[in-house]
């Protein structure tokens, strides 16, 4: 009986110790900013916001936050090559073939879940779509 009671107390101490350890680890990791995922990229603005139909190629600057090397740029639904300058700025060269016809195109960025710049298997997601006008 005494042995069973001692074993039960030891198990209880082990469970309490594990719970405290997990709580401490969770607090420590969340307090240093690590949550296992990168933040979803946010697109605040693009420049320029318009171009003339049939015009020349140009470089678009995207401003926002949470940009990283795995952030993907879309112009009118087409993934285009872009350069991440820093966490708040990206640039992309827009070829004249994409602005031949007047209209409005959506521009957005997205993070790739589990990309090389992320801390875990998440972090993907679309930014808000901004409009680019071809006059």
Mean pLDDT of 28-36: 44
pTM above 0.75, yes or no: no
Instruction: State the DSSP code for 92.
Output: E
44 pLDDT more than 60 = yes
pLDDT band at 5 (very low <50, low <70, confident <90, very high): low
Domain 42-134 listed as CATH 3.30.70.260: no
d(CA 25, CA 29): 6
CA 82, CA 60: separation in Å to the nearest integer?
A: 9
- Percent of the chain with pLDDT strictly greater than 70: 63
d(CA 66, CA 25): 25
Chain position carrying tokens 């521009």: 107
Distances (CA, A) of 30 to 7, 26, 109, 114, 117: 34, 6, 26, 19, 18
Least confident range from 23-27, 52-56, 85-89, 92-96: namely: 23-27
Is the predicted pLDDT of residue 57 greater than 50, yes or no? yes
105: which residues sit within 8 A by CB, 6+ positions away? 75, 76, 77, 98, 131, 132, 134
Q: Where are the domains of the chain?
A: 1-34, 42-134
Q: Which contiguous run of DSSP H or E holds residue 13?
A: helix 2-31
Tens-place pLDDT, residues 69-125: 889 999 999 999 999 999 999 999 999 999 999 999 999 999 876 555 543 445 568
pLDDT at position 11 is: 56
Please name every residue paired with 49 in a beta bridge, in sequence order, or none if there are none. Answer: none
DSSP state, residue 23: H
- The whole-number pLDDT of residue 91 equals 98
Residue 37 C-alpha from the chain's centroid: 9
Proportion of the chain above pLDDT 90, given as a percent: 53
Instruction: Decide if 130 contacts 46 (C-beta within 8 A).
Output: yes
């Amino acid at each position: 009986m005494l042995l069973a009671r001692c074993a039960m107390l030891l198990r209880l101490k082990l469970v309490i110790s594990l719970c405290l350890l997990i709580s401490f680890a969770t607090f420590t990791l969340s307090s240093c900013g690590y949550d296992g995922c990168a933040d979803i990229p946010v697109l605040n603005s693009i420049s320029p916001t318009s171009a003339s139909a049939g015009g020349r190629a140009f470089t678009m600057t995207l401003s926002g936050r949470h940009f990283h090397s795995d952030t993907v740029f879309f112009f009118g639904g087409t993934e285009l090559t872009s350069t991440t300058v820093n966490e708040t700025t990206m640039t992309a060269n827009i070829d004249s073939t994409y602005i031949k016809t007047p209209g409005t195109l959506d521009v957005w960025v997205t993070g790739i879940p589990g990309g090389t710049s992320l801390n875990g298997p998440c972090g993907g997601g679309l930014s808000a779509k901004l409009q680019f006008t071809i006059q």
